[in-house]
Amino acid sequence: MYRLLFIFFCLLPAAGFGQKITSSTNRLAQKHYEQANQAIGSKTYNKAIIELTKAIAEDNRFVAAYQQLADIYRRLNDYPEALVNYKKVLEIDPEFYNLTYFGIAESELNTGDYANALIHFKKYASFPGLSDESKIRTAKYIADCVFSIEAVKKPVSFKPVSLGSGINSNQDEYLPVVTADEETVIFTRKVNKNEDFYTSVKNQDKWLAAKSLSANINTFEFNEGAQCISPDGNYLFFTGCNRPDGLGRCDIYISKWEGSEWSKPFNLGAPVNTPGWESQPSISADGRTLYFVSTRNGGRGGYDIWKSDLGTEGWNTPVNLGPQINTAYDEQSPFIHPDDETLYFSSNGWPGLGNKDLFMTRRKDGTGWEKPQNLGYPINTFREESGLSLNSSGSLAFFASDKEGGSGGFDVYSFEMPDNLRPNAVTYVKGMVYDKSTKKPLEAKIQIINLRSGNFAFDDVTDPIEGEFLATMAPGNSFALNVSKPGYLFYSQNFTPNLQQAIKPYMIEVPLQKIEVGGMVILNNIFFDTNSFELLPESATELGQLISFLKENPSVSIEIAGHTDNVGDDKSNLTLSENRARTVYNYLTSKQISPTKLSFKGYGESMPVTDNSTEEKRQNNRRTEFKIVKK
């Protein structure tokens, strides 16, 4: 008689369960079984499968061999084959071993047979002597089955569309991310077990043939993957593993687009990276909060989602997103939408349809995050779903799948996100900055500030070659745009996007004027109440920009001019415009700007920039300007 060698890999010790002593009366079957045990001991599972198959061929009632074979297939995630063999065990001897019920239930869960999985998990849970760990995990799987049975009854809309042959090939393509204008996609392609980045651009709704991203980033000896790109397409955060400059097994790196090429990436270093494992970055639209996955100390499970905010001296100590997001299991592939309020991620800890599912959560004011919501069936299935990203409007999602009918392996798809699963719509402003006289593109500083909160929505420079920039903005807020460059007058603009702008973004050109006498700037972000000359708080951002300009150009003197529309009588309008100009003058002198550099004048309704036929045109005529009177 031989002692049965069980190899249950589920990490669920069955305290109190005795193992049966069993063997086959067929000596040849028993010999193959023993050789399989030796192969299992050396982790050569394919050899063990061969020997166990031979054992069963000699003795088709050899229950221990079926059990071993089922366990190996489950260990290798071949759940259909595991199911075949577990069923055979129960057919031969339903009382053979209690953990058989857990094995068949887990295999059924991972093949989508939720009803039978629920029956078998409950059967396993009814046995006495289960360890606390076994009870917890079994209860988690029962919750998965209950959720899945209901989810399948209420499918969500899901019609995936391949991104086409320009991107998908007979290799694996996955982890797609797009820029805010949806004109560029970057994804990972695996060729000969090596992961590299590829990129494609859109031409008339068709993605062109993908090209390797950059020799500065892709390598032959290391894997590059799990990336995110800033909405403007200028910054790439990615995961690099086992690199010479790494702090741990996998670290997060950053590379910047420099007009014609990506820069050499550099390691973000501590405290973001540790001697552990950091991966799967996602950057907020303003570039100031980095979400990522780590196995560092202080987490709640194996893989947790963390975040780090950008401080004055670099990235701050990362903070775990806590029990509102992270579970005792694994949370991965975070994607923070440009609305900065909606987070998508994958998890096998929250109730789902098996393996990892995709979830979403929304930020709660000052109290963390809402309870994660499963995206539902058939977006989620018993297979692993991860690596989701969305466009800025939130209407279109991008993901990878090895579904039937693809080009081979994993392919990249998009689908329309159901309305109730969408983030808040975000629009963007895309512009080009150039010299007003020469028309030459300029590298200039771009700042977009939320006038209500005073926070930066964007703070960067234009493309040094093309002079272009792109920044996202959330509808329902007012934003100030300031464009500046040494030697030039700054440019001021105001945006108050609504939901319509999420469909039709802002496209602008910014001609910067060199500092010359007579040069004029409209201060579009200085605000007064109707018929009032008291500055509103939202004016502080623009006034700060004007103060900086005057301090950076100490030889310049300006005239502050106030203008009105034609509503009301001429005298009242003239007085109102002069009072408003005087208010700005007084504000500047209160901030240590010398009165000798300033003058002010009201022009009333005498100098309109357009006619007064509509409210929008009248608003354009109600303005504050400054003019260079001395250089």
Output the pLDDT for position 452.
86
Are 525 and 451 spatial neighbours (Cβ–Cβ below 8 Å)? yes
Q: Read off φ and ψ for residue 119, nearest 5 degrees.
A: -60, -45
The burial class, CB within 10 Å (0-12 / 13-18 / 19+), for 529 is exposed
Using 50 as the pLDDT threshold, list the residues of the chain that sit under it.
1-19
Are 340 and 286 spatial neighbours (Cβ–Cβ below 8 Å)? yes
Say how many CA atoms lie within 13 Å of 233 toward its Cβ. Answer: 24
Q: Read off φ and ψ for residue 221, nearest 5 degrees.
A: -95, -15
Q: What is the pLDDT of residues 539-557, one digit of tens each?
A: 999 999 999 999 999 999 9
The type of residue at 348 is N
The burial class, CB within 10 Å (0-12 / 13-18 / 19+), for 119 is middle
User: What tokens appear for 324 in the block?
Assistant: 């509102």
Other residues' Cβ atoms within 10 Å of the Cβ of residue 379: 24
Output the pLDDT for position 477.
87
Output the pLDDT for position 6.
39
Output the pLDDT for position 292.
97
User: What tokens appear for 229 in the block?
Assistant: 């790109």
**Considering only CA atoms, which of 543, 628, 625 is closest in space to residue 589?**
543
CA 487 and chain centroid, separation:
38
Runs of H (alpha helix) within 434-569: 499-503, 540-552
In this structure, the strands spanning 506-512 and 427-435 are parallel
In this structure, the strands spanning 456-461 and 445-450 are antiparallel
Strand ordering across the sheet containing 427-435: 468-473, 427-435, 506-512
CA dist 609 and 526 (Å) reads 17
CA dist 352 and 362 (Å) reads 18
> Residue 441: which residues within 8 A CB-CB, separation 6 or more?
432, 433, 434, 462, 463, 465, 466, 467, 468
**Considering only CA atoms, which of 84, 81, 92, 86 is closest in space to residue 59?**
92
**Considering only CA atoms, which of 307, 324, 386, 321 is closest in space to residue 352?**
386
Q: 456 - beta bridge partners? A: 449
Secondary structure class of 478 (helix, strand, coil): coil
CA dist 387 and 559 (Å) reads 55
CA dist 479 and 501 (Å) reads 13
Are 492 and 480 spatial neighbours (Cβ–Cβ below 8 Å)? yes
Other residues' Cβ atoms within 10 Å of the Cβ of residue 442: 20
Q: Read off φ and ψ for residue 508, nearest 5 degrees.
A: -135, 160
The burial class, CB within 10 Å (0-12 / 13-18 / 19+), for 434 is buried
> Residue 311: which residues within 8 A CB-CB, separation 6 or more?
none
User: What tokens appear for 629 in the block?
Assistant: 């009177």
CA dist 273 and 246 (Å) reads 8
